[in-house]
A and B are shown apart, each in its own frame.
Chain A
């Protein structure tokens, strides 16, 4: 981010005596816009609105997840003795209903995509080297696809009479 900024570092932190009275001799701190283009920015501008759709998805999925996840927590951890009642029989009882299968399926997909996009943002923010970013994101996407498909498979092929 600091590749092309030429502001001396002492102007960013105002000294105690100068704070408040800015003028030509005492300029206010300059903050680079968060998405300013630097020498490390991609050369070509993106032709899609992917980041805008990702931003919108986080908000929409977030609202739905508040309902799905808090409902899940109340059923699993609060009602009927809390965590102590959970076992194979309890899972079988809940997944006997298509409603709860669909609930869990929606929760799985939305939470995984919401979390994966969140971690993608974190990687983009902190991994500075191009190669590190690429590897971390490859790992993230692999783990996400694997987990989403494993979970989906388990919900759809669940057999209460296994063994």
Chain B
């Protein structure tokens, strides 16, 4: 595969794949999330019962995964906008992807305790 001439198989393709996969996952969660929120219109008790699921350690971990998907999709989306509208965007698309990955790792490390605090406190005491 001649590097630099074919997009296929390189950073550009894999970021495109990751953007798609995270986008579809987020969209399916959005359906569920609007439906569970709609329960506030049914009764406070029903809403609180369903929201209790979100506080379960396993589901809490999935929320961390959701945050991971949203953060990547958001950062890479900004990179796509830069590639499309910034004259030097296509030239620096690779560097921008690695910046996205770097910022993503920092934000994910920072989100670890805040997002999982409910589980961490339940499992390991306060």
- Chain A: interface secondary structure? helix
A60-78 at interface with B (beta carbon < 8 Å): 62-63, 65-66, 69-70, 73, 77-78
B74 to chain A: which residues have CB within 8 Å? Answer: 62, 65-66, 69-70
A82 within 8 A of B: yes
Separation of A115 and B74 alpha carbons in the complex (Å): 13
B60 to chain A: which residues have CB within 8 Å? Answer: 83
B43 to chain A: which residues have CB within 8 Å? Answer: 162-163
Structural contact, A162 and B118, CB atoms closer than 8 A: no
Structural contact, B40 and A88, CB atoms closer than 8 A: yes
The interface size of chain A toward B, counting residues with CB under 8 Å, comes to: 45
| Interface pairs (19), CB distance under 8 Å | A59-B81, A59-B84, A62-B74, A62-B77, A77-B63, A81-B117, A82-B114, A83-B115, A84-B55, A84-B118, A86-B51, A91-B40, A92-B40, A115-B27, A118-B20, A143-B31, A147-B34, A150-B34, A162-B44
Residues of B whose CB lies within 8 Å of any CB of A are 2, 6, 20, 23-24, 26-27, 30-31, 34-35, 37-38, 40-41, 43-45, 47-48, 51, 54-55, 60, 63, 67, 70, 74, 77-78, 80-81, 84-85, 111, 114-118
